[in-house]
Each structure stands twice: as structure tokens, then as C-alpha cells.
């Protein structure tokens, strides 16, 4: 220790912030070491040794003074005594790591206090030395602590940057997928509008059927992802009519038996069109089954009861509702009250009774709002 004392010292007890770490590294300068000890003689000796090894040094006589010197955003390198009045070294260790999680803190402890030294390692100290430390041990401990601190800090910055890039790319991908989804929706809507126009269907028929279908489905507490498939199935229910000749589709009089056979192929044609498209497969099941009846009297597969997909059972009510409450050349539109009575009467035969019950819960005012939604 006498030899160490002869090296000289230059104590600085006034608070000062550490030099920026990135500047030190970029210019090849060693980091500044903050020596914290309530014994000035010890501080002077340790500072002299570290300066001899090329380290810039700052000194603090207490834990509170040390914290004043660490106010900046720099990565600290601290050499700290365990035993100090007021706040001890363990308290300072906790405060430093709370403010600078990747700081390098080397603790100094006396003989017989190794239990506390092990405790400080558990709390995040980079290393500990027994007092008085040998010069080689002190320098090596400082070097190891600083190397570990720089590596940990660099990893943290890398992961933060990576996380930021992932968030940015995720946001870009989400926006792109939303744009694609909107394009799909616009394309499907244009196709359905073309089909409605070809069949001289009443304005907004397919969209109204979708709104009625989803209103009933929500009353049945069907989850959102399933609602999307049901909505698309309702929208595209008649897409198979694209394969029906105009001479049949637009025939003003009754159809012959052969023409009915051709017309009844449209659910299968529609299903084949959609089933090759992944996101439209749930809709394809509804398109295939939208003309089935609860009692098994529908087509094309004569499905009965719950063998019919739920979306198709709901759609059947919505489609009938829209047909009854829309004007036709041969009749005037029925009221919602009249349609409600007829649909209720057919519960258990044409329609699923559970779906009918959900439909009956929707007040006329809501149905009228759904009918006028796009018109407005």
C-alpha cells in the first residue's frame, strides 16, 4: 500500500458526470472509473493505481455523492466500498443498477465479510475484491467488469433495435394485409353487384341479406372470426348463378322440369368456384347449403337439421326476410311483422327453430335500420 501511495493522487470530490461511453469506445479511450469510499486515503491510493493504468478517475466520498455524479445517461463503471456511513455500498449498488441496468459495479469488502460479498453478486455486482486489493487483481477486475458491461449493453441495444424493427415491419405488414383485405372485399362486392344486375335483382339485395344474416348471428353470440365467413357466404350465396343461362335465369314464366334441374345446380357451381380459395372455404360451405331445409326437403344434398352448416341455416331466414319485404312485379312487399309471423310459422320445417328464435329477438326498428343502411 505504501508503494501505491507514492504513485500520487488527484482527488475530485465535486459532482461531475461521466464521459460518454460511446465517445470513449469510438476514440479508443478507457472508461472513467468512479471510486466511492468514505476513507480519503483509500480513494487516493485506488485512484492513483487506476490512473497509472490509464483510466480517468472521479472520486466520491459517499453513496449520495456518487449518485450525483451519475445523473447522465452514460454507462457507469463504479468501484465501491461495502461499508460506508449513512447509505452503504449495497444501497448504492441497487440505486446504480436501477438507474443504469447495465452498469459495471465492483465492490470492495474487508476480510470476514465474504457473505456480504456473495450477496452483492446476487444483486448484480460485476465482481468483488477483498481490501486491500492487489494491483493486478484490481486492474483485472475492472477490465472484466467493463467488458461484461459493454457486452450486456450492446446486446440490449441490439435487441431493442431488433424489437423496434419488428414492430415497424409488423405495422407495415398489418397495413398491407388490411389493404389486401379491402381489395378482396371491393372485388367481391363488385362481383355480387354484377350478379344482382344480371338477374335484375332489387337494389342492394345481397348487401341487405348480409346485414340481416349477421344481425341474427350476433344474437346467437357467434364469435367474430366465424362471423366473417358467414358474412361472405351470405354475400356470395348466388355466385353459382353465373353458370345458369340467361334463358333460364331471366325467364319470365314458370320453369320446366329440365330448367329447374339446371337452376338447382347453382349451389354446387358456386361452391366449386369458392372452395379453391383458402379464405373463402367457410363461405363455400354456406353457398353449397343455402337452399337446404331444416326438415330435409331442400337441395342439393337433402341435408336435415344440424347437418346443415349453421351459417346456411341463419342465411335461409335472412334471405326469406328480404324476399318477403321487397317489392316484386307481381306483389307488394310485406311488412316486417308479416314476415316475422310467416318465418315463425315455418320454424321446425323450413327453418332451424333456434335461429328463428334469435331472429324474433330483433325489433322491427333494427330491421328497418339494416334495410336502409346503405341507402342512407
Q: Are residues 151 and 282 in the same domain?
A: no
Domain that holds residue 117: 2-167
Task: Specify whether 64 is located in the same domain as 112.
Answer: yes
What is the mean pLDDT, run by run of 10 residues, along the chain of 376 residues? Answer: 35 38 52 90 90 90 88 79 87 88 86 72 86 87 87 85 88 81 74 67 77 96 90 90 84 87 91 86 94 96 96 96 85 91 96 97 94 70
* Number of domains making up the chain: 2
Q: Which of 308, 285, 298, 323 is nearest to 354 (CA)?
A: 308
| Whether 260 and 114 share a structural domain | no
Assess whether 214 and 269 both reside in one domain.
yes
Residue 360's CATH number: 1.10.3210.10
Helix (H) and strand (E) counts in the chain: 17, 5
Enumerate the active-site residues: 241
Flag whether 193 is in a domain: no
Helix axes 310-324, 224-235, angle to 10 degrees: 50
Give the model confidence (pLDDT) of 303-312 as tens digits.
Answer: 999 999 999 9
The label of the residue with cell 339485395 reads 205
Judgement on whether residues 27 and 103 belong to the same structural domain of the protein: yes
Is there a single domain that holds both residue 137 and residue 54? yes
Pairing, β 104-109 against β 127-130: parallel
Whole-number pLDDT of residue 25: 43
pLDDT tens column, 89-145: 889 888 888 888 888 899 888 766 667 777 888 888 888 888 888 888 888 988 888
| Long-range interactions of 118-123: CB distance < 8 A, separation 24+ | 119/90, 120/82, 120/89, 120/90, 120/93, 123/90, 123/93, 123/94, 123/97
Please tell me the predicted confidence (pLDDT) of residue 362.
Answer: 95
Q: Tens of pLDDT along 74-84? A: 778 999 888 88
Query: What is the pLDDT at residue 346?
Result: 96
Q: Look at residue 26 in the predicted model and tell me its pLDDT.
A: 42
Q: Which CATH number do you get for residue 46?
A: 3.40.50.2300
How many CB atoms sit inside 10 A of residue 218's CB? 13
Omega before residue 132 within 30° of 0, cis:
yes
* Dihedral, CA of residue 112, residue 116, residue 119 and residue 125, to nearest 10: -100
Report how far residue 177's alpha carbon sits from residue 173's, in angstroms, rounded to the nearest whole number.
6
Q: HSE-up of 107 (CA within 13 Å, CB side)?
A: 31
Give me the pLDDT at residue 7, please.
Answer: 33
336-342: which pairs have CB atoms within 8 A and are 24 or more residues apart? 336/364, 336/367, 336/368, 337/364, 340/364
Amino acid at each position: 500500500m505504501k508503494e501505491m501511495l507514492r504513485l500520487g493522487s488527484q482527488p475530485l470530490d465535486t459532482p461531475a458526470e461521466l464521459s460518454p461511453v460511446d465517445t470513449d469506445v469510438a476514440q479508443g479511450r478507457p472508461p472513467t472509473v468512479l471510486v466511492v469510499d468514505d476513507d480519503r486515503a483509500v480513494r487516493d491510493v485506488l485512484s492513483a493505481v487506476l490512473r497509472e493504468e490509464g483510466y480517468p478517475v472521479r472520486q466520491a466520498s459517499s453513496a449520495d455523492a456518487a449518485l450525483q455524479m451519475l445523473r447522465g445517461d452514460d454507462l457507469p463503471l463504479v468501484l465501491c466500498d461495502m461499508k460506508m456511513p449513512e447509505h452503504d455500498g449495497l444501497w448504492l449498488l441497487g440505486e446504480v443498477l436501477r438507474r443504469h441496468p447495465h452498469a459495471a459495479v465492483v465492490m470492495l469488502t474487508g476480510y470476514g465479510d465474504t457473505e456480504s460479498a456473495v450477496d452483492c453478486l446476487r444483486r448484480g455486482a460485476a465482481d468483488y475484491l477483498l481490501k486491500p486489493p492487489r494491483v493486478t487483481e484490481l486492474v483485472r477486475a475492472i477490465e472484466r467488469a467493463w467488458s461484461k458491461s459493454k457486452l450486456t449493453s450492446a446486446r440490449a441495444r441490439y435487441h431493442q433495435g431488433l424489437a423496434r424493427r419488428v414492430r415497424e415491419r409488423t405495422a407495415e405488414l398489418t397495413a398491407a394485409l388490411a389493404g389486401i383485405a379491402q381489395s378482396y372485399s371491393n372485388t367481391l362486392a363488385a362481383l355480387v353487384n354484377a350478379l344482382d344486375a344480371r338477374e335484375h335483382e332489387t337494389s342492394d339485395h345481397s348487401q341487405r341479406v348480409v346485414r340481416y344474416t349477421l344481425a341474427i348471428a350476433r344474437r346467437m353470440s357467434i364469435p367474430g372470426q366465424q362471423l366473417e365467413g358467414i358474412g361472405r357466404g351470405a354475400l356470395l350465396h348466388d355466385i353459382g348463378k353465373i353458370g345458369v343461362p340467361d334463358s333460364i335465369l331471366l325467364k319470365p314464366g314458370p320453369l320446366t322440369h329440365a330448367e329447374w334441374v339446371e337452376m338447382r345446380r347453382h349451389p354446387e357451381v358456386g361452391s366449386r368456384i369458392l372452395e379453391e380459395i383458402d379464405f373463402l372455404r367457410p363461405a363455400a360451405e354456406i353457398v353449397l347449403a343455402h337452399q337446404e331445409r331444416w326438415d330435409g326437403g331442400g337441395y342439393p344434398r337433402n341435408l336435415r337439421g344440424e347437418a346443415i352448416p349453421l351459417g346456411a341455416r341463419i342465411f335461409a331466414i335472412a334471405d326469406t326476410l328480404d324476399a318477403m319485404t321487397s317489392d316484386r312485379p307481381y306483389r307488394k312487399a310485406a311488412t316486417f311483422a308479416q314476415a316475422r309471423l310467416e318465418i315463425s310459422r315455418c320454424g321446425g320445417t323450413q327453418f332451424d327453430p333456434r335461429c328463428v328464435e334469435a331472429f324474433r329477438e330483433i325489433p322491427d326498428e333494427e330491421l328497418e335500420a339494416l334495410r336502409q343502411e346503405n341507402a342512407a
